Chain A
Amino acid sequence: MEKILDIRDLHVSFKTFGGEVQAVRGVNLELYRGETLAIVGESGCGKSVTANSIMRLIPTPPGEIKDGSILFKGQDMTQLSDKEVRKIRGVDISMIFQDPMTALNPTLTVGDQLTEGLRQHRSISRKEADKQAMEMLTLVGIPNPVERMKQYPHEFSGGMRQRIVIAMALICDPELLIADEPTTALDVTIQAQILQLFQKIQKQTGVSIILITHDLGVVAKIADRIAVMYAGKVIETGTRKEIFYTPQHPYTRGLLHSVPRLDQKGEKLIPIDGTPPDLFSPPEGCPFAARCPMAMEVCTKVYPFHSKLSRTHDVDCWLQDERAKKYMASTY
């Protein structure tokens, strides 16, 4: 499988009046052609910042990519000029935002917003652009595209708007689609429809998808691989099966325990106590140590090494150390 995206040791910081927030602190991620990678984690863990960095959409200032590389098809996005980045945005990499109610410009017609990307990047006639836009609307499941093209965003429902946003993102036939919480602002029934739409589109176009979410239900439905982020770091990655059935990091386990399940009656949800660390001055050791039920002394002092459990399953945790394993075996 071809590696389409390779993020190495990405550091992103934001300068604020209170000091520098280290939102992303050494993220490593890779994405293969045609797969869906879900990035999960709680609010403020750096998942959206990571996603925005890929397209260089971090507002600078105050944000800044401090270190690391983002290789998209072998090209380092962090080194490109603004003009070169603009040629990639919307063409090779597209993005879908969380709230469809605000992602569309209220003063422009849907048709105008759909075709402007096409007309910017491909030298085609208005008529041809309209034709492609209408085909795209049909693909994402919007009936009467001819009439709908002339309408304004306020004439659509939330679910319909998200379909339009998806159509907008797909119109130039991108190779990578980044969806930042695409279903969070939608009703549950609409959520399912939108996820189905993602699957259908991926099957038809072979687009690779990065899905950012805090909803593990969404992940379970469509992700091939999962990356769990915490306090600006990826702490565990693995296939959907590996993460759901054999989670290794105590944080991943905590996340899974805090999701309601239909197949286990009467079980109480176990929340993770405490709050994530302050990223103005992140802790030296494992950022989760303060909340971790299994924390050892070493966890608060040194960041754990990277363990490879299988070709696809990686985790950053001291519990993977041989000495910890031996100790656990002797006590439990």
Chain B
Amino acid sequence: MAKYILKRFIYMIVTVFIIATLTFFLMNLLPGSPFNEERTTNEAVQRNLEAHYHLDEPLVVQYVLYLKSIVTLDFGPSIKQPTETVNSLLGRGFPISAELGIWTILIALISGVALGVFAALKHNGVIDYIAMTIAVLGISIPNFVLATLLIQQLAVNLGVLPAATWSSPQHMVLPIVALATGPMAIIARLTRSSMLETLTQDYIKMARAKGLSPAKIIVKHALKNALMPVVTILGTLLAGVLTGTFVIEKIFAIPGMGKYFVEGINQRDYPVIMGTTVFYSAFLVLMLFLVDIAYGILDPRIKLHKEGGK
């Protein structure tokens, strides 16, 4: 197990390195620079600024400097907000984004699995049709459309929930609902089909033949097997939620990491782009690793530590 974790850790570092490199060169391909603005700056001032941030150096030198900043975990000050360092922006934004993301995933998982299980148990019944209609709608409607709809109906027209910002539990409802609906729908559909298949298995019949109660059969024997495909796509869903937070944070004016990320790109604030990207990718890679571990715990047939195995 320790060997497997070490191996995976090396892979993770390589992955983050590749993402960081790609981001760096893509970012430099973008036209414009932090100091390209409508009002013209004095040429000498401009040069001084570029020299200060090493933007006048050759690209390779910039790249090495940037790699150094990753290794030392110090991304330096933001160009556009000189009073802030990238680290302080991350430190402020991450807890908020994490709160949004964790609630989203939790709610999507719990409601999605519950919806899927009930749909499977009432297969071809009214509950099944209602659940699957909700699921199809959830998959089809993009989160930014849902977000604006929710704001318009619940916040503006009915006025029951606040429209934006992130300060109290009421403020959290709309963004979380908007972000969680899509993943919930995917999980519900997957759980349903996987549950239906599991329920026809011989070991379920065997469990019934043992005289176990229906609740025990479903929870102990069926659900654990039925959740396997759900765990498999959890990694992809996490990535989806993560990118979803960019949009949702922007719509709801939530001061999370996504906001800094998007603003950073718009303003060509290089250190902010790099810092947030590296942070996001490291976080996602770590989550994927945890998903794999969970997979091994759920299904004993998957041996994580096996030499050369998956």
* Partner-B contacts on A (CB < 8 A): 55, 57, 86-91, 94-95, 97-99, 102-109, 116-117, 120-121, 152, 154, 165, 168-169
B63-71, B110-118, B208-216, B233-241: which lies at the interface = B208-216
Beyond A97-B205, A105-B225, whether A117 also contacts B210 by CB under 8 A is yes
Q: Are A103 and B206 in contact (CB under 8 A)?
A: yes
Contacts of A97 in B (CB 8 A): 202, 205-206, 209
A89 CB contact (under 8 Å) in B211, B221, B225, B298: B211
Q: Are B211 and A102 in contact (CB under 8 A)?
A: no
* Partner-A contacts on B (CB < 8 A): 201-203, 205-213, 216, 220-221, 224-225, 298-301
**5 pairs of A and B residues whose beta carbons are closest in the complex:** A89-B211, A90-B211, A90-B210, A102-B202, A117-B210
The residue of chain A having its C-beta at the shortest distance from the C-beta of B199 within the complex is A59
B221 CB contact (under 8 Å) in A87, A108, A165: A108
**Once bound together, how far apart are the Cα atoms of A116 and B208, in whole Å?**
12
Q: Are A107 and B299 in contact (CB under 8 A)?
A: yes
Contacts of B301 in A (CB 8 A): 106, 152, 154
B209 CB contact (under 8 Å) in A55, A107, A108: A55
Shortest CB-to-CB span from B194 to chain A, Å, is 13
**Once bound together, how far apart are the Cα atoms of A109 and B298, in whole Å?**
12
The residue of chain A having its C-beta at the shortest distance from the C-beta of B225 within the complex is A107
Beyond A57-B205, A102-B201, A165-B206, whether A107 also contacts B300 by CB under 8 A is yes
Contacts of A94 in B (CB 8 A): 209-210
**Once bound together, how far apart are the Cα atoms of A86 and B214, in whole Å?**
10
**Once bound together, how far apart are the Cα atoms of A55 and B213, in whole Å?**
14
**Once bound together, how far apart are the Cα atoms of A55 and B302, in whole Å?**
35
Contacts of B203 in A (CB 8 A): 102-106
**Once bound together, how far apart are the Cα atoms of A239 and B213, in whole Å?**
38
**Once bound together, how far apart are the Cα atoms of A315 and B237, in whole Å?**
64
Contacts of B201 in A (CB 8 A): 102
Shortest CB-to-CB span from A83 to chain B, Å, is 9
Q: Are B209 and A120 in contact (CB under 8 A)?
A: no
Contacts of A109 in B (CB 8 A): 300
B206 CB contact (under 8 Å) in A88, A104, A106: A104
Q: Are A116 and B224 in contact (CB under 8 A)?
A: no
Q: Are B202 and A116 in contact (CB under 8 A)?
A: no
**Once bound together, how far apart are the Cα atoms of A91 and B212, in whole Å?**
11
Contacts of B210 in A (CB 8 A): 89-90, 94, 116-117, 120, 168
Q: Are B298 and A107 in contact (CB under 8 A)?
A: yes
Shortest CB-to-CB span from A189 to chain B, Å, is 23
Shortest CB-to-CB span from A84 to chain B, Å, is 11
Contacts of B224 in A (CB 8 A): 107-108
Q: Are B211 and A87 in contact (CB under 8 A)?
A: yes
Q: Are B206 and A168 in contact (CB under 8 A)?
A: yes
Shortest CB-to-CB span from A110 to chain B, Å, is 11
**Once bound together, how far apart are the Cα atoms of A95 and B205, in whole Å?**
10
Shortest CB-to-CB span from B178 to chain A, Å, is 35
Q: Are B202 and A103 in contact (CB under 8 A)?
A: yes
Q: Are A116 and B212 in contact (CB under 8 A)?
A: yes
Q: Are A117 and B300 in contact (CB under 8 A)?
A: no
Q: Are A117 and B221 in contact (CB under 8 A)?
A: no
Shortest CB-to-CB span from A13 to chain B, Å, is 19
Shortest CB-to-CB span from B201 to chain A, Å, is 6
**Once bound together, how far apart are the Cα atoms of A275 and B268, in whole Å?**
77
Contacts of A88 in B (CB 8 A): 211
Contacts of A57 in B (CB 8 A): 205, 208-209
Shortest CB-to-CB span from A63 to chain B, Å, is 13
**Once bound together, how far apart are the Cα atoms of A106 and B205, in whole Å?**
14
Beyond A89-B211, A168-B210, whether A105 also contacts B205 by CB under 8 A is no
The residue of chain B having its C-beta at the shortest distance from the C-beta of A92 within the complex is B211
Q: Are A152 and B300 in contact (CB under 8 A)?
A: yes
Contacts of A152 in B (CB 8 A): 300-301
**Once bound together, how far apart are the Cα atoms of A185 and B90, in whole Å?**
60
Q: Are A106 and B299 in contact (CB under 8 A)?
A: yes
Q: List, sorted by A's number, 28 A–B pairs whose CB atoms are closer than 8 Å.
A: A57-B205, A57-B208, A86-B211, A89-B209, A89-B211, A94-B209, A94-B210, A95-B206, A95-B209, A97-B202, A97-B205, A99-B202, A102-B201, A102-B202, A103-B206, A105-B207, A106-B203, A106-B300, A107-B299, A108-B220, A108-B224, A109-B300, A116-B210, A116-B212, A117-B210, A120-B210, A120-B212, A154-B300
Q: Are B209 and A90 in contact (CB under 8 A)?
A: yes
Contacts of A107 in B (CB 8 A): 224-225, 298-300
The residue of chain A having its C-beta at the shortest distance from the C-beta of B206 within the complex is A103
**Once bound together, how far apart are the Cα atoms of A104 and B221, in whole Å?**
10
Shortest CB-to-CB span from B277 to chain A, Å, is 38
* A-B contact sample (4 more), CB < 8 A, given A89-B209, A106-B299, A108-B221: A57-B209, A94-B210, A120-B212, A120-B216
Shortest CB-to-CB span from B69 to chain A, Å, is 45
**Once bound together, how far apart are the Cα atoms of A251 and B116, in whole Å?**
48
Contacts of B208 in A (CB 8 A): 57, 89
The residue of chain A having its C-beta at the shortest distance from the C-beta of B204 within the complex is A105
Contacts of A98 in B (CB 8 A): 202
Contacts of A87 in B (CB 8 A): 211
Q: Are B211 and A106 in contact (CB under 8 A)?
A: no
**Once bound together, how far apart are the Cα atoms of A98 and B301, in whole Å?**
22
**Once bound together, how far apart are the Cα atoms of A154 and B306, in whole Å?**
15
Contacts of A117 in B (CB 8 A): 210-212
**Once bound together, how far apart are the Cα atoms of A67 and B205, in whole Å?**
23
**Once bound together, how far apart are the Cα atoms of A57 and B298, in whole Å?**
28
Q: Are A105 and B221 in contact (CB under 8 A)?
A: yes
Contacts of A120 in B (CB 8 A): 210-213, 216
**Once bound together, how far apart are the Cα atoms of A55 and B207, in whole Å?**
12
Contacts of B211 in A (CB 8 A): 86-91, 117, 120-121
Contacts of B209 in A (CB 8 A): 55, 57, 89-90, 94-95, 97, 169
